[in-house]
Amino acid sequence: MLRALRRQADLSQRELAVRAGVPQSTVARIEAGRATDPRFQTIRRLVAAAGGSLRLAAAGDRGPAASAQLAGSDIQGDVRRDEAGRRYPAHLDVRKVRTLKDWPGAWWAHSYTLPPERWPLRVPEVTFDLDRGRRDERRVRERIRDAVRIRRISDGVPQGCWRLVAELPDGDLVGELRAHERSLDLLYGEELGDRREVVLDGVLVAPALRLLGIGRRLVTRLAEETQRVGLPAVCATAEFGGIQFLLACGYRIDWRRPAKLRRDQ
Kindly report the CATH number assigned to the domain that includes residue 191: 3.40.630.30
**Domain-embedded: residue 110:** yes
**Domain-embedded: residue 257:** no
The predicted-structure confidence for 91-125, as pLDDT tens digits, reads as follows: 888 888 877 777 877 766 655 566 777 777 778 88
The predicted-structure confidence for 58-83, as pLDDT tens digits, reads as follows: 766 655 544 444 344 444 446 677 77
- Residues 228, 168, single domain; the answer is yes
- Residues 180, 221, single domain; the answer is yes
Number of domains in the chain: 3
- Residues 184, 139, single domain; the answer is no
- Residues 158, 129, single domain; the answer is no
Task: Output the CA angle 107-110-113, nearest 5 degrees.
Answer: 110
Question: What CA–CA distance (Å, rounded) separates 215 from 203?
Answer: 7
**Domain-embedded: residue 261:** no
pLDDT per residue rounded down to tens, the chain (265 residues): 888 888 888 888 999 999 999 999 999 888 888 877 788 889 889 999 988 888 877 766 655 544 444 344 444 446 677 777 887 887 888 888 877 777 877 766 655 566 777 777 778 888 888 888 888 888 888 889 999 999 999 999 998 899 999 999 999 999 999 999 887 655 555 554 557 788 999 999 999 898 899 999 999 999 999 988 888 788 888 887 788 889 889 898 888 777 777 778 7
Judged on CB neighbours under 10 Å (0-12, 13-18, 19+), 186 is: exposed
**Domain-embedded: residue 253:** no
- Residues 71, 98, single domain; the answer is no
Q: pTM for the whole thing?
A: 0.66
**Domain-embedded: residue 255:** no
Owning domain of residue 60: 2-78
